[in-house]
Structure 1
Amino acid sequence: MKTRFIALFLTAGLLSIGQAGARSLTLEECRQAAVGHNRTLQDARFDLEAALQTRHEALTNYFPQISASGGAFQAQHGLVQADFGLTIPQMGTMNLPISMVKRGMFGCVTAVQPVFAGLKIVNGNKLACLGEEVGQLQVRKTEGEVREQTDTYYWQIVALKDNLSTIGAVERQLAEIHRQVELSVKAGLVTTNDLLRVELRQQEVASNRLKVENGLKVMKLLLAQYIGVDWHGFDVAAADWSEPEAPGACYVPVEEAVDRRVEYQLAEKNVEAQRYQTRMERGKRLPTVGVGAGYLYYNMTEKDVDDGMVFAQVSVPISAWWGGAHALKKARIREDLAENDRLQAREMLAVEIEKSWSDLQEAYAQIVLARRSVDSATENLRENRNFYQAGTAPLTDLLDAETLYTQSRNNLTSAFAAYRTAMARYMRVTGR
């Protein structure tokens, strides 16, 4: 609970930052704000609070069950009707009608302490405690998913901002090319077709800028809503990803990672819950024993009468065994089903972890290849610019070289973002 208050306090601080536009948010600040604000995570916390109340409710079954009842009545005729035979000497026997209990009041209070209830109370409390543990695991699972999604939004924004930087560099290059071609046209060295080609390329780049700016705005809106900050003036801090860490340092063996996964722990809890359900089903067929005490008051004949009592009660559900054997077999089948689901979950989680590791390695390899492409495209652009300025290469070769350079830079940016996203996913699927 203390951690939750800290997260909410941090979220409030970030809200004021977003409204004032004082500074951009780092990735860690975005993560903490998401943990404190995210709606899905709040729902998981509410479920945990409900499970806690269920555990408290189950605990009260150990206490005595106290009940009170009372009432009053007014009858049209006496509830006790009888004939009283009276013998009088010299007159014989006469029957006299008697009517009694025409009105009255009554009340009682009883307290019953369960001594043995077929272990239903014990197993019910264990099941309630298990439900609270499941709620805690669900919160952990949701926190991991929220962090991963926050990382995805964050790195997409960083990638789009880097794309804008590339577009800005290309626009400056095209502006210089346009200036040179325009001078050449005025000097009669080239035709206006070359100038039109440059202008068409400039319009294409301007169109790409609009698309990237619109995508950047949408991604900022999504992240701002996800972490709970005001999107007006909201931005993320600049991130340096020129030298990302190699994935080897974060590798975890598959079996160890599976044991860490919340999903596998939830599957184990499901097996345990089904075992308690089987015990609860068996307990329905066992006798129940209780002891109690009570107080009784009534006034039926214009006289107050009260008395105390102690008692013991035993209940044996004999007819419950007719269908109970089948219900117990059904509970055992569900227990076997839960165990089968646990084994399947372990196998599928192992496959997911292996795939995430392969994707992470592939994403890192793509960065290496994309960086080589950028180096080659940069050199190609430099040579074609020199050739064009020397008059030994046409304008089309220079524009093609500029296009290849832009594509290689964007591919490198996408590779960086894909690697960061793959890293966030691998950390989640390995239980970290």
Structure 2
Amino acid sequence: MLRREIRYRIPGLVCLLSLCLVVGNAQQLLTLEECSRLALENNARMKNARLDLEGTQETRKEAFTKYFPSVSATGGAFASDNGMAEMILMPGLEMTLGKNGVMGGVTAVQPVFVGGQIWNSNKLAALAVEVSRYQMKQSEDEVLLTVEQYYWQNVSLQEKMKTIGIIESLVGNLYKDVETSVKAGVANRNELLQVQLKKNSVASDRLKVENNLRLSKMVLAQYIGVAEDDFLVRSYLQEPLPLPETYRVDPIAALPNTVGYKLLDKQVEASRLQYKLKVGQNLPSLGIGAGYMYHNILDTDHSFGMIFATVSIPITDWWGGSHAIRKQKLQLKAAEYTRQDSNEKLVLQMQKLWNELEEAYKQVKLSEESIATAEENVRLSTAYYQAGTETLSDLLDAQSLLQQSRDQYTDDYTSYLIKRTQYLQATGQ
């Protein structure tokens, strides 16, 4: 009885374990939003961008320390074969001093005026942090655009696989019909060979698309930092496309919202601060300090404290410094010209991308009409061929046109979505 129960339970346990393995190995179905999130977390470019931001933040903290006194400590010791001082106390009695000794001290100097160099250096360091944040946003946009391109490429290839399945079904049914007609003696074998060639062509198309799909998924997996076997891409071309007018904005009004515009502004501001720094380097500097010193040189311990002031006037540097200041002023003017020129190009880029977005949307609509026309053409060609009023070659051409129109629609659909993202990023939306 016990043996019988064991026999009955073993298949149940096997089924349960098999079910667990299937669930455990189930691939996650990823949407575009999920792929984008994973890319922002795992992509090497974003990791480097975050490190760059942390680096500029450390530089800013370093610049802030220049507001505080600079403290230094020095020390030394010496020993010599002859003393620093020799005295003859009386004939035959001499005294040597300073043959060895030690010295040391601690000083602290507080800068009072350095031509605004500390203030402007801190502003420049803070500006570098802002620039790094904008550059990280720029990297984020580029990563998101790239992952979307890879994602829709994968979706497009999946849709083309579906199209190949439809064509294979049509050609397979046609092959059966022609084979039956050949056996019945109402069709010649040449027609069956034509259909066989078409089957081979479709099989070749499937092989190419399968290889491209596998490679596309590998590229996407590497970009988002997920193992290739752990996910699938969700295909949803059936959703209606939003109108381009939903996203349209005035280019001039949108310009200040773009990352490119903000970076150009920061570049001019950085040039202005560098000009002020160059001026400050050629101004006098003033500092005050205090220190504590100790020495034992003449065989006597001696220590003392002191306060002092330092003034530095770069007299010989004024000649060369004036040219350096003039050069920096020219670079500031060049940065302003570059900003104006680049802003005009940004506006032109927005208009260009809008035109491409409109064109892509219209192309999708034309492709939809082409599919409807191609499907009707296949239906009529099939009926006419069966009625004997159309050749087999015409029917095969109609099926090829259906495949081409469906593939073209897939390409146009995904192209529109990518153009939309490019336009949204370019207009700062």
Do the structures match in fold with TM over 0.5? yes
1:424 Cα deviation from its structure 2 partner: 1.3
Work out which of the residue numbers 133, 145, 149 in structure 1 matches 2:146. Answer: 149
Q: Provide the secondary structure at the position in 1 that maps to 2:81.
A: coil
Matched, 1:230 2:227: yes
Matched, 1:271 2:268: yes
Does the CA contact (< 8 Å) of 1:241 and 1:416 recur in 2?
Answer: no
Q: Which residue of 2 aligns with 1:107?
A: 104
Q: CA RMSD in A?
A: 1.6
Q: Provide the secondary structure at the position in 1 that maps to 2:65.
A: helix
Q: Which residue of 1 aligns with 2:187?
A: 190
Q: Which residue of 1 aligns with 2:20?
A: none
1:198 Cα deviation from its structure 2 partner: 0.4
1:362 Cα deviation from its structure 2 partner: 0.5
Matched, 1:365 2:362: yes
Matched, 1:57 2:57: no
Q: Which residue of 2 aligns with 1:48?
A: 53
1:98 Cα deviation from its structure 2 partner: 5.0
Q: Distance in 2 between matches of 1:285 and 1:21?
A: 69
Q: Which amino acid in the other structure matches residue 402 of structure 2?
A: Y
Matched, 1:254 2:259: no
Moved more, 251-260 or 290-299: 251-260
Q: Deviations over 1:35-85 (max 9, x none)?
A: 11111111111111000000000000001100000011111101224667x
Distance 1:60 1:216, change over 3 A: same
Does the CA contact (< 8 Å) of 1:77 and 1:102 recur in 2?
Answer: yes
Distance 1:96 1:322, change over 3 A: farther
Q: Which residue of 1 aligns with 2:322?
A: 325
Q: Which residue of 2 aligns with 1:396?
A: 393
Does the CA contact (< 8 Å) of 2:46 and 2:136 recur in 1?
Answer: yes
Does the CA contact (< 8 Å) of 1:220 and 1:234 recur in 2?
Answer: no
Q: Which residue of 1 aligns with 2:44?
A: 39
Matched, 1:120 2:117: yes
Q: Distance in 1 between matches of 2:99 and 2:329?
A: 57
Q: Deviations over 1:292-350 (max 9, x none)?
A: 11001011122211111111111111111010000000000110111111111101111
Q: Which residue of 1 aligns with 2:16?
A: none
Work out which of the residue numbers 404, 408, 411 in structure 1 matches 2:405. Answer: 408
Q: Which amino acid in the other structure matches residue 356 of structure 1?
A: L
Q: Provide the secondary structure at the position in 2 that maps to 1:168.
A: helix
Residue correspondences, number? 407
Matched, 1:204 2:201: yes
1:427 Cα deviation from its structure 2 partner: 1.2
- 5+ residue gaps, structure 2, are 1-23
Runs of 4+, deviation exceeding 4 Å: 81-84, 94-98
- 5+ residue gaps, structure 1, are 1-18, 87-93
Matched, 1:28 2:33: yes
Q: Which amino acid in the other structure matches residue 144 of structure 2?
A: R
Q: Which residue of 2 aligns with 1:291?
A: 288
Q: Distance in 2 between matches of 1:81 and 1:278?
A: 58
Q: Distance in 1 between matches of 2:322 and 2:26?
A: 68
Does the CA contact (< 8 Å) of 2:292 and 2:306 recur in 1?
Answer: yes
Q: Distance in 1 between matches of 2:219 and 2:250?
A: 34
Moved more, 299-308 or 167-176: 299-308
Does the CA contact (< 8 Å) of 1:360 and 1:419 recur in 2?
Answer: yes
Q: Provide the secondary structure at the position in 2 that maps to 1:77.
A: coil
Does the CA contact (< 8 Å) of 1:106 and 1:297 recur in 2?
Answer: yes
Q: Which amino acid in the other structure matches residue 232 of structure 2?
A: D
Moved more, 128-137 or 238-247: 238-247
Does the CA contact (< 8 Å) of 1:51 and 1:131 recur in 2?
Answer: yes
Distance 1:270 1:83, change over 3 A: farther
Q: Which residue of 1 aligns with 2:129?
A: 132
Does the CA contact (< 8 Å) of 2:27 and 2:231 recur in 1?
Answer: no
Q: Deviations over 1:197-254 (max 9, x none)?
A: 0010011011111111111111111111111100124311121344211110111110
Q: Provide the secondary structure at the position in 1 that maps to 2:78.
A: strand
Matched, 1:339 2:344: no
Q: Which residue of 2 aligns with 1:239?
A: 236
Moved more, 21-30 or 180-189: 21-30
Q: Which amino acid in the other structure matches residue 58 of structure 2?
A: Q
Work out which of the residue numbers 281, 299, 302 in structure 2 matches 1:302. Answer: 299
Q: Which amino acid in the other structure matches residue 140 of structure 1?
A: K
Work out which of the residue numbers 349, 359, 376 in structure 2 matches 1:379. Answer: 376
Q: Which residue of 2 aligns with 1:214?
A: 211
Q: Distance in 2 between matches of 1:157 and 1:22?
A: 16
Q: Which residue of 2 aligns with 1:89?
A: none
Q: Which residue of 2 aligns with 1:91?
A: none
Q: Distance in 1 between matches of 2:403 and 2:299?
A: 104
Does the CA contact (< 8 Å) of 2:237 and 2:413 recur in 1?
Answer: no
Does the CA contact (< 8 Å) of 1:51 and 1:135 recur in 2?
Answer: yes
Q: Distance in 1 between matches of 2:236 and 2:362?
A: 20
Q: Distance in 2 between matches of 1:194 and 1:242?
A: 40
Does the CA contact (< 8 Å) of 2:295 and 2:303 recur in 1?
Answer: yes
Q: Deviations over 1:95-149 (max 9, x none)?
A: 9765321010111100011111110000000000000000000111111111111
Q: Which residue of 1 aligns with 2:4?
A: none
Q: Distance in 1 between matches of 2:87 and 2:207?
A: 103
